Amino acid sequence: MGTLWYRAMGAPDDSGDPRRDAPATGRNREPILAVLRRVLPDPALVLEVASGTGQHGAFFASELRHLAWQPSEPDPEAFASIEGWAAHARSAGARVHPPLLLDARTHPWPIERCDAVFNANMVHIAPWEVCLGLLDGAARVLPSGAPLVLYGPYRIDGAHTAESNAAFDASLRGRDPSWGIRDLEAVTTRAGERGLHLEERIAMPANNQMLVFRRES
């Protein structure tokens, strides 16, 4: 991809540590973990699409030791941070694999099968085609009954859930007209066309949502 079109990652510090810090990760990881603890299978190989800094995967794999976590990214420039966080988690006994180069729009993905797919904060900071690619790929790699879990802001019934989300949406579209907070109904419809049924929507802090889809047989 060249540039990271879906998230701004913190710059590495001067210590030589390659790990980057996205402050939002520290704020949202505990609420996300509570949902993942409930909806992910045991055991499971979890593919994270768009791992960003790699902080989420390292944390979740450390807290949920029955998981094997597979990070991925479309931009290899992010790999050093992802692998830095993964190595830190592995040193404490967590199972985090080295990152895969994965653009959600490509076919095939560099993984044939997994037990769950997780994605946070990509759908609104990427072109719509990336969301469709995510749904296409998840439908291919997930077995029947397996979850696709998405986290981020969505419009519901055609409206933003908060004024701050409306302002954020305008900011995103001002940066790139192909970005923007997506309509929940549009995502749900396109997922259903691919055999992914919306099982649950959970309201999250800071006007975000978690969507849990299940792969139908």
Q: Is residue 11 part of a domain?
A: no
Cβ neighbours of residue 197 closer than 8 Å, sequence gap 6 or more: 191, 213, 214, 216
CB crowding 28-62: b at 16 or more within 10 Å, else e? bbebbeebbeebbeeebbbbbbbbbbbbbbbbbbb
Q: Is residue 10 part of a domain?
A: no
Alpha-carbon distance of 21 to 17, in angstroms, equals 11
Beta bridge partners of 149: 118, 212
CA distances from 58 to 91, 96, 108 (A): 11, 7, 26
DSSP 207: G
Q: Is residue 17 part of a domain?
A: no
pLDDT at position 39 is 98
pLDDT at position 14 is 58
Alpha helices in the chain (DSSP H): 23-39, 55-63, 79-90, 128-141, 163-175, 184-193
Q: Is residue 18 part of a domain?
A: no
Q: Total domain count for the chain?
A: 1
CATH number at residue 31: 3.40.50.150
pLDDT at position 183 is 98
Q: Is residue 145 part of a domain?
A: yes
DSSP letters spanning 35-51: HHHHHS-SSEEEEESS-
Cβ neighbours of residue 93 closer than 8 Å, sequence gap 6 or more: 62, 65
Q: Is residue 12 part of a domain?
A: no
- Location of structure tokens 């510090």: 13
The answer to whether 213 and 196 are in contact (CB under 8 A) is yes
pLDDT at position 12 is 52
Domain encompassing residue 75: 23-215
Q: Is residue 15 part of a domain?
A: no
The reported pTM is 0.93
pLDDT at position 13 is 53
Task: Name the phi and psi angles at 128, rounded to 5.
Answer: -55, -35
Q: Give the Cβ contact number of residue 113 at 10 Å.
A: 11
Give per-10-residue mean pLDDT for the chain (217 aa): 39 75 92 98 97 97 97 97 97 97 97 98 98 98 98 98 98 98 98 98 97 95
DSSP 195: T
Q: Is residue 83 part of a domain?
A: yes
pLDDT at position 5 is 36
